Chain A
C-alpha cells in the first residue's frame, strides 16, 4: 500500500515566519505534488516535481517554493508566511505513467496568526 506521510497534522505559525512542510512517500514514485484545499475552491496545485531537483509551477505558486533533493521527499516552503496562506495543505505522489492516480497524504492544517 502506498504511504504518503506529511510531517505535521496541525501547525500554527506567525506572520513573517519561514515555514517548512515536509512530505515523504515510500513507493519510489517519480511525481510529487503540493496542493492547498480551501472551501469552495477545491484543491489547487501549488508546485509539482517530475524528478529529483526538478520543479514546475502550478496554478498558485506565489509566496511558495519547493525542494526535492531526494526522490522520496518533497518539501513546501512558505518564504514569509502570511495570513492568506492559512489553509489545508495536501501532498501527493504518483507513478509517471498514464492512468496512474495520485496518492495523497492526510494533510497539514496550517494556521498563520
Chain B
C-alpha cells in the first residue's frame, strides 16, 4: 500500500516556465516532507523540505507547498532550466525516520 503517491510519471515544460510537481499522501501521521532530485547513475540528492507546521517553504527557484487538509504537497520550480531535467521524488516521514517515497516524476525542461 503506497502511502506516498506521485500520479504523474512524467512532465515536460519549456525553459523559463514554471514546473509544478505534485504529490499526495495518505498517512496523517507524516510530519516531515521532502523532495529529492535524481540524475541517472547517481543517488537521489536532497532538494527542499517542509515540516507539517508550515504551509510553504522557499529556497531560491524552488518552493514547496503543503496542504494538510488535502494531504497534498507540490514543488514549484521557477524559472525552469534544462539542468533541472531529472527524476523528482516526493518523500514523507514521521519524525524523519522510516521515510516513504513516491514513485517519482521525470521532469524534462526543453530549451
Q: Which residues of chain B are near A43, meaning CB under 8 Å? A: 44, 89, 91, 101
B95 and A98 form a contact (CB under 8 A): yes
**Bound: A25/B96 CA distance, A:** 18
Q: Are B102 and A45 in contact (CB under 8 A)?
A: no
B101 touches A106 (CB 8 A): no
Contact (Cβ within 8 A) B97 A101: no
Q: Are A101 and B46 in contact (CB under 8 A)?
A: yes
Judge whether B32 and A45 touch: CB under 8 Å.
no
Cα(A50)–Cα(B102), bound, Å: 23
Which of A41, A59, A94, A106 sits near B96, CB closer than 8 Å? Answer: A94
Which A residues lie at the B interface, using CB under 8 A?
A: 4, 31, 33, 35, 40-45, 48, 50, 56, 58-59, 90, 92, 94, 96-107
11 A-B residue pairs with CB within 8 Å: A42-B101, A42-B102, A90-B43, A94-B96, A98-B95, A99-B51, A101-B36, A102-B99, A104-B45, A106-B43, A107-B42
